[in-house]
Amino acid sequence: MLLTGLALVAFTRFFFTGQVVAARAKQTHALDAAAYSGALVQARALNMLAYMNRAQIGHHVAMAHLVTLASWANFAGTEAQQLATGNPPAYLIAMLFGADHGAAYLAASQAVGFSNLAHRYSDLGVAYSAHDRVIQKIFTSVQNYVAQSVPNARYNAMLTVLKQNYSNASTGLDPASEDGFELTLYDDFWPGFLHRHAGSTLRPFLLHTASLYDFLSPRNKTARNTWAVDARCPTRRHELRRRGHTQLDEHGRWQSVDTQSFHALRSNRWIGCYFREYAMGWGWIPGGATQSLSDPYVSDPPSDFSSQDFWRWVKESTDWDIHSGSSNPLATSKAVAQPHRWSGGGVQSYFDIRHPANPSVGFSARLTYPGPEGLSVKTHSAAEAFFERPQARRDLRQERPNLFRPYWQARLSRSAISERGVEVSP
């Protein structure tokens, strides 16, 4: 009977140890699954921020196309007006610079013009305002919400996973409850992992992105007549100058200007050879109320020069170089005198990781849960969101972690293995 009693005690202790091991194994697997789910929430939030940063770039590129398209439309409308007045006539342009330039000038007669585009409800203006509204109002609030909601969303996701593994347990935070458990996070690196950058720091990136689109490239071309004009300047010729560019100012607002002028070579005994500019077309779309152009211009150009000499007016009222200049100052002045201003707020601030050399953001978790015979079992785990490209770059360069590439993934970290120890307490 004594041996039987000892066997029963040994069997009971063996059975109890098995129960503890089984409870510990189940709890370890449940906590690992919960920790991985928490890291997955972090990875999805980081990818969401990356997509939003890329979307802001896309909206700005769309706005650059819109101001450029509107500038072209304005340019085409004013060129149609100049063609209708015959100043200069199309046959002269074709005779001096070729049939293609003459045909292009004549094609301006089909332009609808730009008179109704400045209205706030016009198609281009509405599209521009819609893009700007998304950038200024939606992105900022959504980014803030995503960044700030991660700790709560992560914790709730972990509780949900634990509840599914312990369907009969209470998932509250009160460890004193009979069937409750306590989940604690520590070594959490999410606070301070993100940093909000000023929108101005995106300007170089925006300019690089815009350079990938030919429609946004500088539109500068000069056609020169081959005939000698004046013995005083035998190397100079009549010129047809097409100028245009899309710019991004220091505040992140786009603007576009397009001009074309016929520069007739003239000379007199007072100033020698000079170019008499005949503005053929102009259009300027500023994206802000305070934007200005870097090209030479005056704010109030004469409507015509029937009552004064062009060169004399230039000498008295401007500092233009009409002897060897390369711009269209008169056409630019007309564009500035007839602006169609669109209101834009520029580039908004954005989130990126604070330390680009840090490839991951992780946390550790401890779960306390009632075990067999009223004992409490404590298990530990750890997980992290990490940055890794799905495939190597074509240039084989190493890409640092950032919030412009949605390459964030989730995994259990090494510390999850090192902290596998189980604690059992009464």
In a domain, 185, yes or no: no
Q: How confident is the model at residue 82 (pLDDT cuts 50, 70, 90)?
A: very high
Taking residues 219-226, report their average pLDDT: 95
Long-range contacts of 352-357 (CB under 8 A, 24+ apart): 352/53, 352/194, 352/195, 352/197, 352/402, 352/403, 352/404, 353/193, 353/194, 353/195, 353/401, 353/402, 353/403, 354/192, 354/193, 354/194, 354/195, 356/400, 356/401, 356/402, 357/400, 357/401
In a domain, 66, yes or no: yes
Per-residue model confidence (pLDDT) at position 120: 43
In a domain, 390, yes or no: no
| Domain span holding position 171 | 1-175+202-344
pTM of the model: 0.83
d(CA 25, CA 369): 12
In a domain, 30, yes or no: yes
Q: DSSP string of 285-297? A: EESSTT---SS--
Per-residue model confidence (pLDDT) at position 145: 95
pLDDT digits (tens, 9 = 90+) for 91-100: 999 999 999 9
pLDDT digits (tens, 9 = 90+) for 275-315: 999 999 999 999 877 788 888 999 889 988 888 899 999 99
Taking residues 75-101, report their average pLDDT: 93
Q: How confident is the model at residue 6 (pLDDT cuts 50, 70, 90)?
A: low
In a domain, 404, yes or no: no
pLDDT digits (tens, 9 = 90+) for 174-208: 433 334 668 999 999 999 999 999 988 999 999 99
Per-residue model confidence (pLDDT) at position 248: 92
Per-residue model confidence (pLDDT) at position 117: 45
Mean pLDDT across the chain, nearest whole number?
86
Q: How confident is the model at residue 172 (pLDDT cuts 50, 70, 90)?
A: very low
Q: DSSP string of 157-168? A: HHHHHHHHHSTT
Is the Cβ–Cβ distance between 24 and 377 less than 8 Å?
Answer: yes
In a domain, 411, yes or no: no
Of the two residues 267 and 371, the one the predictor is more confident about is: 267
Number of folded domains that form the chain: 1
d(CA 51, CA 36): 22
In a domain, 214, yes or no: yes
9, 299, 304, 363: which is closest to 157 by C-alpha? 363
In a domain, 22, yes or no: yes
